[in-house]
Amino acid sequence: MAFEFRVLAEDTSTPARVGRMHTAHGDVETPVFMPVGTQATVKTLTPDDLQAIGTSIVLANTYHLYLRPGSELIAGLGGLNQFMAWERPILTDSGGFQVFSLGHLRDLDEDGVTFRSHIDGSSHRFTPETVVRIQEELGSDVAMVLDECTSYPATEQETRDSFERTSRWARRARDAHEAPEQALFGIVQGGMHDDLRRESAGQLVDLDFNGYAIGGLSVGEPKELFYEMLSVSASELPRNKPRYVMGVGAPEDLFEAVVNGIDMFDCVLQTRLGRNGSLFTADGRVNITNSRFRTEPGPVDADCDCYTCRTFSAAYLHHLFRAEELLAYRLASLHNVRWTIRLVEEMRERIRRGTFASYRSEFLARYRTTDSGVREQQRARWQETRRRKARELLARKVYEDS
């Protein structure tokens, strides 16, 4: 039996649940946070690090691995698990988000999408069938269908056209999928319209995928709207299949996902913040480069059991970041990923006890969330950096070919 999902426990007062996902590379208890290993590595962390902090499944990126080093090369070297020396399960996304974020460097049609590589400007083509084939070559335990990530904001007609195309592509991906040990998940779209989200979910459920993801959220919309669309989407998905919300990693968002019965989530936030000196604590994120940490003898978070907090003072981390030592990025990333995994472990335990709702209230009453304006500034800077790099690479390619 290659893939199976079972609900093991349910909270007494919310849709939150504990489950177990069986895959060819082992079992995964849910809810589960999946660290992102975009290019077959979680930035700064080794497979041993990940196992030691309780990582049960990682996410890798189809778009990036297709471009470099290539799925055929990885297949020839024994598949993604052997290539990256990771013995536990792997989920590969479809690369759809990355392709659609290229903006003017991609051209969409009914059959698929043509795009320019962000690496060298070369032209490539993704279709629902080729994306399935690439993920089969990678050998991941869970593969995702190619979807169109609806932009925000978008009109209702634009959103309908987008999610219906995603549904047609999902059927083609399902029909093309030939790896019996690899699960295939459909992706719910529908933008910020609750009726379209319900339609999208219904069309995908009819296709009977192994599991279902919720896409097109956390793309710039207000938190309240994000949470509303998350709840609507989750309510339409079957109880006996795993539910996955894509690209979500802030603690408050994880609680919102779990309280709506979501089983899986991933995000680059933990390692990206870590490399920039922003660390999770029970009271909210802190910037370790701030002068108040220069002489702090205690750990960043006294309640955290990660190697960083068990071994080093906040003053030492402050010093490493100020001195721009490479160890700083590893220790901070190690802390943020373990801190998040431990948070989700506690969620599972509280669901089993039937006290998840009270735990959620206690945590959120203490945790200081990041101001929405700051989040949007950070997102805008990241997106502009991506666009600028893509423009520069394309201009270089055109110049070299002229």
User: Which residues is 123 bridged to in the sheet?
Assistant: 116
Q: Which amino acid is at 259?
A: V
Number of H helices, E strands in the chain: 16, 16
List 11, 263, 266, 301, catalytic entry: 266
Annotation says 266 is catalytic: yes
First to last CA, the chain: 54
Name residue, tokens 């279709």: 127
Sign of the alpha-carbon dihedral angle for 202, 207, 212, 216: negative
Instruction: In whole angstroms, give the CA distance from residue 15 to residue 152.
Output: 28
- Burial class of residue 14 (count of CB atoms within 10 Å of its CB; 0-12, 13-18, 19+): middle
Nearest 5 degrees, angle CA 99-CA 263-CA 179? 60
CA 26 – CA 72 distance, rounded (Å): 24
Phi, psi dihedrals of residue 326, rounded to the nearest 5° = -60, -30
Question: Residue by residue, what is the 3-state secondary structure of 242-255?
Answer: CEEECCCCCHHHHH
93 is catalytic: yes
In 3D space, the residue among 183, 249, 209, 217 whose CA is nearest the CA of residue 28 turns out to be: 183
Spatial distance between the Cα atoms of 186 and 166, rounded to a whole number of angstroms: 9
Residues 251 and 279: their CA atoms lie apart, in Å, by 12
**Identified catalytic residue from 49, 93, 141, 147:** 93
> Which residues are known catalytic residues?
93, 266
